[in-house]
Each structure stands twice: as structure tokens, then as C-alpha cells.
Chains A and B, each alone.
Chain A
Amino acid sequence: MKNKNLKKTDVIFSCCVSGNEKFPILAGAIKKDPDLIIDEIIESGLKGRGGAGFPTGLKWKFAAMNRSLEKYVVCNADEGEPGTFKDREILLKVPEKVFAGMAICGQVIGAKKGYIYLRGEYLFMVPKLYEILDIFHAGITELGYDFHISILQGSGAYVCGEETALIESMEGKRGEARNKPPYPVADGFRNKPTIINNVETFVNVAMIQKYGVAAFKKLGTQDSQGSKVFSVSGDTPNPGVYELELGMKLSDFVDEFGDGDTKAVQVGGASGFCVPRRHFEETIIGFEGIPTGGSMMLFNSSRSMYNVLSNYLDFFADESCGQCTPCRVGCQQLTVGMKAIKNGEKDADYLNDLLKLADAMKITSKCGLGQSVANAFSSIVNNFKEEMIY
């Protein structure tokens, strides 16, 4: 690292638990009192790594408290957020850790079945995953523990990353988000209590079991504990996957990964926020600032932010499930509205109408997809107004 403030870590990908070492974590965990594990995860401050950042320990506690005899563990590997590819690397390099985290979850909440919902774009890795899963299953049988993981495949639908849409898809239906409440922890897959966590979250759980809460808390900041795997792309000499401590300044990040001419960073993918150069210094990447599932897209001054936004809007208009009005129609209106302003068919004031529309979408949409369109829209429009009009 050339930037001294940026703290690179190596927990997630470190090979310490590959080979023969992968079972001790599980062997230790299954002997432990489930309540103790929950307390440890709560104490660690671990928040979901998919982007929404719900406290993992609390989620597990809700599911554990539920008396249902049938519960499920689901690993959300529907990594569809534009600019995100870190789960791909985790699943290619350390799938055992994901499996271990899922099995610990099964032990904690009392579930015998786990599912990995793998996005259709990652089917190429299925044979390899099954190979490792076979070894894993043999291993847990040896431990006398009953937990089985299957892989379910997506077929190209971003919205299935939303947890209730994901459940619908697992049940063989269109991936349309459900009304909430009830939440999956109470009423999920097959209407049973279901824990859905991101790939990286499960790895973190396994790592907390291995290294302990204190080691985990040493990383990151008060509000953003632990490390995070980032997917770095765009105008950078070094695109790729990097594990960094949370709570960094965006300016330090840009200093490390930028090409010297970075004009904006889109933090958190198309559903995240655009930060312009003038705000790099004051922006913290973490739950106290901008939380992210890990997508960091860098844009240099040769890029048109209008093109960036148009690309995102086309994406949303296409990937909206289409069931709720604000998201289905709102995405179309933002798309055609921006074009109309650019072409001069609508005057610049129309931008304000569209900003209000984005705000309305945020508070009226049924699920996270429609609710988060405003993030990119408003942050790009407000910071690059001229580029939108001229």
C-alpha cells in the first residue's frame, strides 16, 4: 500500500482454514452453547456485508428464539450490484469458510438445511463448489453433525438479491419482493424462519469463531467493526478485490486506487452514492458514513456523469421487478426524463421534478431496489448538474 492511512488486512482470504484446518472452527462451534455464539456475534458488532448492514447477531437471535422445528439458512450469493465481484472471489478462493459460517448458523438457530442462492452469471463455478461441498459434507458427518448445503441457481435477475425476492425465486416463482412484515427471520423460505446473509457475512462469522471477538473488534472503527472486502473497478490502474479495514477516508482510498485524475467515486454500486472529488476528504466509508456492499467504481475527468447515470437508470428500469408503481414507472420516468432534459425537450427545471420523484420513490417503493434508486440519482444530479443539462 502506498497510502499509509489505508489499512489492508488479510482475514477473509487468508488460507489459515483451508485444508485440514477448516473443521476445527466448526468442531469448536458445534460444542459451544448457541446462545454464547450469538452473544459473541452481537458483541463483535458484525453487520451484514451485503450492503444493508443489519446487525448479524440480532438477526440470528430472532431466528434462534423462534420455536419452529423447521428453519433454513440461506447464503445470498446473488451478487448483482454493478461493480461488485468480491463474492465471486470469496466463493472461488475460500468457499469452505462460507460453508463453515452457514453450518455455524444452522447450529445456532437450529436449522438442518442451508442453501446457496448463486447468481446465474456464476454458474461456471458450480462444479468446483460441489466438489468442495462433498468434502465438507463428509467432514461434518464425521463430526456427527447434521447440516446439509445445496446450491440453487438464479437466472439473471438483480432484484433476487433482495431477500424476500430471493425467497420467492427459491420457491420457483417470479422474484417479486414480499410485503414486510413479516420478515424472513420469522416467515421466510417455505414460510419458515430463515436466515439470509451475504457470502462475506458468513465468512466473518467463521473468522470470529476462529480468532475471537477481540481480534475482530481490533479492526475498523467504533461504528464499523471488522474488515470489508472491496470490489475496485473503473478508472484505476489496479482493479480487483481488496480487503481493507472499515472506517477509511475516501480520500485515502482514492489516493491508493485512483489514476490521479479521479473526479468521482460511486460507493456501493448503482444503488449506492456518488461522491464528487470535493467531498473525498470528509467522506468515511463505513456505517458511520457511506455503508457499502463493497462496490467502488472510480471515474476520472474524461467520463461523462450523464452517461454513468443513464447507464444506472437503464439498469434499474430493466431490473425492477415491475410490481410496484413507484419503482416500475418511476425508473422509466427518470430514464426518459433525463434524456428529455439532455435533448432540450424538457427544460432544466424538470430536474427538480425528477429529484422530487426520486424522493417519493425512496419512501413509497415496496423494496430496497426502488427505495435506493434515489441514492445514485440524487447524488449524481446534485453534484453534476451541468453535466446533466448540457
Chain B
Amino acid sequence: MNPKINLTIDGINVTVEAGTTILDAAKSISIKIPTLCYHPDLCVAGNCRVCVVEQEGVRNLLASCAVPASDGMIIRTNSLKVRTARKAVIELLLSEHNSECTKCYKNGTCELQTLAAEYKITDTTYVNLVPYHHYTIDNFSPSIIKDDSKCIRCQRCVRTCEQLQSVSALSVAYRGEHMKISTFMEKPMYDVVCTNCGQCVNRCPVGALVEKSYIDQVWDAIYDPNKHVVVQTAPAVRIALGEDLGLPHGEIVTGKMVAALKRLGFNAVLDTDFTADLTIMEEGTELLTRLSQALVDKDPNVALPMMTSCSPGWIKFIEHQFPQLLPNLSTCKSPQQMFGALAKTYYPQKRNLDPKNIVSVSIMPCTAKKFEADRPEMRDSGYKDVDYVLTTRELAVMIKQAGLHFDQLPEELFDSIMGQSTGAAVIFGATGGVMEAAIRTAYEIVTGREVPFDNLDIMPVRGMEGVKEASLAIEGALPEWDFLEGATLNVAIAHGLVNANRVMERVASGQCSYHFIEIMACPGGCLGGGGQPIPTNAEIREKRKEAIYREDSGMPLRKSHENPEVAAIYAEFLGKPLGHKSHELLHTHYVDRSEN
């Protein structure tokens, strides 16, 4: 137990634990101090100086986010000295910022704009500095646009890229008036180690880092009478979309989301969950095959542990950082890309449509999915498998553009085919979910029995710990799997690339005995994805996680292999998992990107 600290803030006595910042102490008594560079997921920077407060008897103001409360402090958060100084700081930020707010993608969701509104900054004291800098916009990446003219140098993106993702594609460069957020040699984001995860986008308080939007292209497709536009929605979208449309964190809005998509004019509203279930069939079989090759055939070249391949940020990360481990990746495409490949093959065949008229759109909690859809490998249908990827945020924008009152929409059901899902697919949206879904199915395939966990909830693989480990003993294996009898399956789960990096370093050095590893690029998994509603923090991610598991327990089907549409597609189209057609459409290969 930390010792207690007593201080006074705006005349109110407050007691906090030692080490608590003035900002948090103020928060505990409902005094809001404005912040910009501060973000609860990141280490303290103390550089924007918006959160300054006055301490009695001290000439200089204190950055309340950075200074710990100390005994006897008398703090004023709203004195004349504070207001005057804070206003000057905001005005300085505005003078350096391209303030063409009405033409900005973040118009209405910009933290600097909000602050300027709160302080009613109506005139410009200072000289507009934007013309003094030679700003360029980097819009080469299919995922992220970087516009330095809007950057306020808070370094949230840099801290995100370094501390949460251990990528450091972005760094602070130069000094003084020339200081900027830069990639290596100021190359386009497309050309460097950026994984397109979008965590920086999720934390940028202004419009300096935003997703590349394809809203207009999607509207064009919807309004084109010759096109049949299918949309798939990822598991994590349905538990977060409501946040951007006035609903509380952690509200499940699956039915309303489907209703909204239908009203927007999509010809078919389908579910990525369907291919999540399909992924489990393919990936589970792949794992069992690799185990069999290793244990029965004693093939020394089998790459184990096998690693999941659903998260495109993770894929690009490993392609850059650990190319020697690429054989360990499952060859399964992500659910989005499996869906895309089927949307232009199986789907038109069943619906009697010409695949060339199909436009395939996906709604994802992710910015890296935009890059993934653009990969040259992702054209196995003979067309671009997924034409446009929208983030959860972009879907919310479209719903607002269409004038829909989201909270008043009825709940509707996904269309068929490729619209059915199970609880196993839903939990793909949370860290540990793919692992849990895979175990539910693989254990049953091997033993013929359900996993030995209450209500199928495999608790050891759930939760927000950065790296989780679990072991599962296999007993009573069916005859064809008797080589697994008595074996213990060791698994690991990591989310956030900094944790992925830790696990990969162990794998690369041969220091672990895992058989299967699930990696998600974003903190919390897809529920904390770079394309999810802003803001994000541990509390919000926790609520989204609870929603996902609530959705899972409420589903009539909880295991991927029980999805009747999955059974149907194998019977009618694919044959069997890892069969010829599956290989052609549902599996892929990876690229060594260590040279850039």
C-alpha cells in the first residue's frame, strides 16, 4: 500500500496515493484539466503544456499530467494565470496548425478543435506559421494518410508506434522550428516498416494521421445499378460501432448494424464471421496436419509452432522483422480475404450472378485490412477479392450521411448465403478468441468430445494480459488421432505488437515449446483495432471485450464446425479443409520484407 498524499485542488482537499499525478488527483474530484499529448495507454510526455496548473508559491506552472501530487500542495487549475497561459498555448498550437477545419477529415472529432471551441478562440493573435513550412501530404499508403500541416507534435503516434507496437516506423526528427514526426529519411509510410495497424491513427488527436477513406467509392458502387454490392462485417465492429453513433461503450449492435447496412443500399449484408468459422476449419486442420507430420512422420522440416494469420498488421510486422519465421505462419488467408475470394466465386455461382459485377466491401475494425485487400496475392477469384475496406468509423460516417437514427433502427438478420455465424467466430474480435475457437473445434475433432471447460468458456486464453500461455492435455483421442494421445498442447497468445515481438524473440531463439500461437497486432485484439471508434483505452477495451463474450454466450451455435453454412460450402464447393479448392482460394503465401 502506497502512502497517502494530501493536497488541495481549487480549494478542495483531496487524498491520493503517492505517485498519483496532479491530473489524476483532479480527476478523482471531478475537476477536468484539458490535455492533448496525454493518453492513458502511453507514457507521459508532458510536451503540449495544455494541462498546466498553478502551484501556490511556485513561479512556473506545472504540467499536471507529469508532476506527481505532493503533500501540502495547493493547486489551482483555473486561475487567471493558468487560463491566460493555457489560452496562449492553445493559440500557439493553432498558429502552427493548418486550421482549415471545414475541409478536414477530422472535422467534428478533433481534440484541438474541441479545445479551441471550449476556449472560444475567435481571433488570431499570432501569425499563421503554416506557410513558413514546406508540408507535404503522404497519401501513398492504402491505409493511412499523414498530413504534417495538421500535426501538433504531441508525439502520441511516436509513443504508440514505439511502446505499444515496437515498430517505431515513426520517430521525432529534426529540432526546434523544424521538428517533425517523420519516417526514416522522410519516406512515404508505404515504403517503411509501418504495419498499417492504425494505432497511431486511433491516438492522433488531430487530422495529421487518418485512415484513407473509401466512403465515396462505396457510395458510387451502391448507386451503380449494374453492380451487386456485398458487404461483410468483422466480429469486432458490432460491439463498437454504437460508440460512434451515440451509444455507450460495449453495446452490442449487430441487428441495428445489419439494418443500417441494408438501408444504405448494400445488395447483400453478409458476415465475416462465416469465414472466421471457415478459418477455424482450415487452420485447425492445418495445425493437426503439421502436428501429425512432426509426430508421426517425424518430419524435421515442419514449422512449429504454427502461428495465426488473421491480423494483417501482424503479418506485415513478421514479414519485416522476423522473415525467418514466415514458414511458421498458417497459410490461411484472413477471414476478410477468404470471404473476398468466395464472394466472387462461390457466392455468384450460388446466386447466379456475374462475378465481374460484384463489388465486395468489408467493414473492419482495422486500417491494415485496407493494405491487405490491396496485396497482389489477394486476387485468387480472378478479380480483386475485396474491393473496398471501410473502418468501423467510416461505416458510422456513412450511417450519419444517410440520416439514419441508428438507435431507433430495428434489429435485422444477416442475409444468406455466407451470413451465418457461431459464437466461435464472434470471439475472433478479442485477443485469445481465435485460439479459443480453434481449441473448441480441434479438441472435438481429436477426441470426439467437447472441450473440458464450463460452458465452453476457455478462460485461460481470455483476458488482457500481454502474453498469455495455456496448456491442454489430450486424453481419449479418437483412433485416427491416437498419436496425440497423452500429448499436451502448449499455446501462447499475444496482442499488441510489442508483446508479439517478445514472443517472437523467444520463438526465434528456440526457447519455447509452443505448438500454436495466436497473435493480434492491436491491443486487446480487433476490438482495440486501429479502425475502431476513438477514443480507446483500457477501460473501453474491457467493455468491448465483455460485449464480445456476451454475444458469444448468447449464440445458439458456439463451435465453428457446427456452422451449417460451413458444412454446406464444403459439401457443395470446397470439398474438404486443405483440399484443392481451399488451397486455391483460401490460402496464401508471404513476402520477406526485411530489406525495407
Chain A residues proximal to chain B, CB less than 8 Å: 157, 159, 174, 176, 179, 181, 316-326, 328-333, 336-337, 340, 346, 353, 356-357, 360, 362-366, 371
Contact = CB atoms under 8 A, between A and B. Distances in A.
B176 A320 contact: yes
Given A181-B67, A366-B46, A366-B63, A325 B92 contact: yes
Contacts of B47: 323-325, 366
A325 B67 contact: no
A267 to B, nearest CB: 20
A319 to B, nearest CB: 6
Interface in B166-196: 172, 174-179
Nearest to A336: B127
Interface stretch (B83-91, B260-268, B392-400, B458-466): B83-91
B96 to A, nearest CB: 5
A108 to B, nearest CB: 27
B125 interface: yes
Contacts of B93: 325, 329
Contacts of A330: 92
B538 to A, nearest CB: 22
Given A333-B92, A356-B84, 13 more contacts: A157-B175, A179-B63, A321-B175, A322-B153, A322-B178, A323-B172, A326-B88, A330-B92, A360-B89, A363-B61, A363-B81, A364-B52, A366-B63
A322 B174 contact: yes
B67 A364 contact: no
Contact of B177 (A179, A317, A340): A317
B82 to A, nearest CB: 10
Interface-central residue, B44, B49, B174, by most chain A CB under 10 Å:
B49
A268 B81 CA distance: 28
Contacts, number: 118
B401 interface: no
Nearest to A357: B88
Contacts of B172: 174, 176, 322-323
Contacts of B92: 325-326, 329-330, 333, 357
Given A326-B89, A360-B89, A366-B47, A321 B179 contact: yes
B557 interface: no
A353 B127 CA distance: 11
B132 A336 contact: yes
B175 A319 contact: yes
B177 A353 contact: no
Nearest to A339: B127
B582 interface: no
Q: Which of A320, A331, A364, A371 lies at the interface centre, i.e. has the most chain B CB atoms within 10 A of its CB?
A: A364
Contacts of B179: 320-323, 328
Contacts of A360: 84-85, 88-89
Contacts of A323: 45, 47, 153, 155, 172, 179
A324 B48 CA distance: 5
A330 B178 CA distance: 13
B174 A362 contact: no
Contact of A322 (B48, B59, B95, B175): B175
B61 A333 contact: no
Given A322-B176, A325-B93, A329-B93, A356 B88 contact: yes
B327 interface: no
A346 B126 CA distance: 10
B419 interface: no
Given A323-B172, A333-B126, A336-B127, A328 B177 contact: yes
Judged by DSSP, the binding face of B is loop
Nearest to A369: B176
A366 B67 contact: no
Contact of A332 (B155, B175, B177): B177
Contacts of B127: 333, 336-337, 340, 346
Contacts of B84: 356, 360
B66 interface: yes
Contacts of B323: none
Contacts of A336: 127, 129, 132
A284 B482 CA distance: 93
Contacts of A321: 175-176, 179
A364 B177 contact: no
Contacts of A318: 175-177
Given A364-B61, A364-B85, A366-B47, A329 B175 contact: no
- In the complex, the 7 A-B pairs of residues with the closest C-beta atoms, listed nearest first: A322-B179, A360-B88, A329-B92, A179-B66, A320-B176, A179-B46, A323-B47
A316 B175 CA distance: 11
A185 B174 CA distance: 29
A43 to B, nearest CB: 27
Nearest to A323: B47
Nearest to B59: A363
Interface residues of B, number: 39
Interface string B39-65: 000001111111010000001110100
A329 B95 contact: yes
A321 to B, nearest CB: 6
A120 to B, nearest CB: 14
A179 B44 contact: yes
Given A360-B88, A363-B60, A332 B96 contact: yes
16 contacts: A174-B175, A181-B68, A317-B177, A322-B178, A326-B49, A326-B88, A326-B89, A329-B95, A332-B129, A333-B95, A336-B129, A356-B84, A357-B92, A360-B88, A360-B89, A364-B61
Contacts of A332: 96, 129, 132, 177
A371 B172 CA distance: 22
Given A333-B126, A333-B127, A337-B127, A322 B177 contact: yes
B175 A366 contact: no
B49 A325 contact: yes
A292 to B, nearest CB: 19
Contacts of B152: 325
A179 B179 CA distance: 19
Which has the most chain B C-beta neighbours within 10 Å: A316, A322, A357? A322
A331 B172 CA distance: 19
Interface string B66-103: 11100000000000010011001100110110000000
B67 A179 contact: yes
B43 to A, nearest CB: 10
A331 B59 CA distance: 21
Interface in B122-142: 125-127, 129, 132
Contacts of B155: 323
Contacts of B48: 324-325
B178 A366 contact: no
B19 to A, nearest CB: 11
B376 to A, nearest CB: 38
B170 to A, nearest CB: 14
A371 B49 CA distance: 13
A360 to B, nearest CB: 4
A174 B172 CA distance: 9
Query: Looking at B92, B95, B155, B172, which has the most chain A CB atoms within 10 Å of its CB?
Result: B92
A364 B129 contact: no
A181 B132 CA distance: 35
Contact of B49 (A320, A333, A364): A364
A324 B49 contact: yes
A382 B381 CA distance: 75
B153 A328 contact: yes
B52 to A, nearest CB: 5
A179 B23 CA distance: 14
Nearest to B96: A329
A328 B66 contact: no
A132 to B, nearest CB: 33
B176 A328 contact: yes
Contacts of B67: 179, 181
B54 to A, nearest CB: 9
Contacts of A317: 176-177
Question: Which one of A330, A331, A336, A360 has the greatest number of beta carbons of chain B within 10 Å?
Answer: A360
A364 B45 CA distance: 14
Please indicate which of the listed interface residues B63, B81, B177, B178 has the most CB atoms of chain A within 10 Å of its own CB: B177
